[in-house]
Structure 1
Amino acid sequence: MPLFHFMYIILLVILAIYLLGYHVGWSIFQYDELRLISLLISALCFMLILFRLNTTFRYKSIFVFILLFLGLIFHFNKFSIYQHQDLAMLIGLTIIILWVTLEIRKYKSIQPFNHFLFFLIICSIIPTIFIIFSIKDFLSGGIWYNWQMNAGNIRIYDSVVVPIIFLAIYLKSINYKYISFIYPLIVFLLTLGLWFDGARAALLSVLIGLIVIFILSKQHRKLVLGTGAVILFSFAVCHFTYYFYNKIHGVDKSLNVIRTSTSGRWELWSYVYQKWVEQPWKGVGGNFLATTDYPLNHLHNFYFKLIFEWGVLGFIFLCWIFYQLKKVLTSDDVHIALKAGICAVAVDAFFSGNLVYPASQISIFLLLGLAFSQYRPDIQIVSKTKYLSKIVILLWFGLYIFIVGSYFLQDLLCYQCGSHAELMAPGFWYYGKAEHLIHHSLVP
């Protein structure tokens, strides 16, 4: 098969490399390098869709895409670099998911993709094995060592893991033979990492996804109960680790598995809301927090992000997203584990930056691409919009290439560069308030 048929596998391998802590060296930070790769992959997906596939949209989608395009063009010359960053990211999200969906849908058998998914799952649990050594050092010396191989905020890894858990459930539920014996170990290690990270949003997302499967699929209830039992066991291991630490070191319950501290999300959302009410139709502008002194650089809520930052255009785009998800979630063709994974990602998107961080974006691409590929639209209705769909794709491709060429070419051509700002909080770049990457010799 030609190379362009392997975008799903390429994304999968990139994510596996990230989980194992490696990066090419294009950028000095793994996060920034993944962002650069995402920019290039988005452009490649545009070209593949435009020239390689007979891509068609429904009239509703065409209307939404044209409306959004005209709305953006009307204000385009007023955008700052931060808005261009956000716009490039949102366009990239949409086009990569579209291409991966179309690519997988072409093949009658996805068994080769399942092999690569299993490879990704194995790569995701390799770092968690080192939790055992962290527990040992923690109990003996009272020092908790970071067991993750990937660099950056632990919340990035937590958001990456959520889709992977449901991909593992999917492989188990279709009786993929290689995962049968190690499935409990996979769930145990991945959720153990979430418990030790205090990843409340990720754990809640997984729980809701399991509830969806339990309610909607009688044949998979035994699998859900077994998975839930393993998650409870991982909780017990985490809890007793803190319990024995307290006993050994004479600590009076100061350390436990339950995080009681506030995440500050309500204050964050209130802050941006107060700014948004001043200009609700237009919004405060994409990537707004990067322009402020606020100690965070994204809203930790994808839905509020679209509405507060992009106003009416963001609301229209969000409604279109919900409509697409509704079609998939109500389709009998889509596997229940993938539907549950979508629900879990949607919940996580309400509390995290899973659709902002490049690594978790790739993880979500793999899940959504597989789910959407199983949805079968009415071919006769869609085929009538062939040429109009091509025009829409060409318009957005032109806009995307203009943004990348005008604002990110210097970043793409900068070798061994990285982002830097006074505050290290991820956003579009690893240092979210950075406008562009700078050479490593200039990074303090």
Structure 2
Amino acid sequence: MKFSIQKPKKTLHMVSLGCTKNLVDSEVMLGRLNEYQLTDNAQNADVIIVNTCGFIDSAKQESINTILNLHDDRKKESVLVMAGCLSERYKEELQKELPEIDVFTGVGDYDKIDELVNEKRSNFTTEVFLASENNERVITGSSYHAYVKLSEGCNQACSFCAIPSFKGKLHSRTLESLVKEVKSLVAKGYVDFSFVSQDSSSFLRDLDTKNGLELLIEEVEKIEGIKTARILYLYPSTTTLSLIDKIADSKVFVNYFDMPLQHTTPSMLKIMKRGKGVEQLNELMNHMKSKQNSFVRTTFIAGHPGETEEDFETLCNYVENFKFDRANVFSYSDEEGTTAATRNDKVEQELIDERAEVLGEIISQTTQESLENEVGKVFEVYIDGESDEHEYLLSARKTIWAPNIDGEIYINDNELAEGEQIKFGQIYTVKVTELVGDKLLATVIK
């Protein structure tokens, strides 16, 4: 008798920090390292990868703390990898200061991560890596939803943002490549898609096509099997009224309008180099809001250099009156290499934090109002599974909402026929019965 002894699979622990664009790159790395078994136990993992974020101070700090904590607890012969934006942005300094790390790599080598891990070799390719339909990704966190990256880099010159300094200029994927990737994901059972990039409304502009997103919408609508899709991160100066109409008229794309405004007064938009006048901005925002069942999300920066008390009050009034469905506020922080960092009209840190808190309160209120408006309504949701709150509550998300950022709905009852089981990852119609804190409670009706 012959016995074949199987070698135990090597294990991999992956931490993806920052944005959903980073998550796509992490999923590409998982695809390249598919001979490893994923583990939540970092202490015993053979390979640990942290895909870092280098966007703002708090994100940088989180990246450094995460990687040092993982190093403290890891087993002796494991390989610790620092990848991504922070690693790219400060490659010289970090390699000198962090001898704990075995492999350093930036934003250009996600598809070579298997070689770098096997050879314990650091590498920084000068070109930014852009996922294509040929990259086998391991989709994480969902059995039915996937993010799809449209482009890398950015041609905008916002005063506060250092991303173009380490991600480079806009570099769009071809429409053909995107269609192939989406078709292959649909064939694997994915039905809900979020299209992401630094500046999604500029998609294909580097390839001399101005209406790239409108063309994408047309092509995606032809793919059978997609139930819902949304576009994240529209940019004011490259978003048109016709693009908003195209989204609103689509049978596949939901009326999800995610446009980081950062500010709303003429002087601040000019200082921030946002490239759109207040009147045109208002026209865009009102057009989004006028669409049936629209959902509008944005982001603001509080305390940017040059922001006067009057600017801030105007911003607060705008947010209060517009009533965004969701919004985020960031406290301004200096970023090396940006024009804002060199200005001499900085706002005191204490005042920055105070303004962020005031604006945060207003946003909490408008978010609460948006949620209160859902009570009594009937709409479609994706049911994800059991909630973390209680085993008898199911966790769901309104089909228009983006995963993980727009909220969670608890399903506490259903009116399905006897014996009919709720299937996770499917769409159900629900009726919202009440709002408890910031959570909607709903009943499945079909």
| TM-score bracket, shorter-length normalisation | under 0.3
Q: Greater relative contact order: 1 or 2 (C-alpha under 8 angstroms, separation 6 or more)?
A: 1
Which of the pair has more CA radius of gyration? 2
**Structure ranking higher in helix proportion:** 1
TM-score w.r.t. length of structure 1: 0.26
Q: TM-score, normalised by structure 2?
A: 0.26
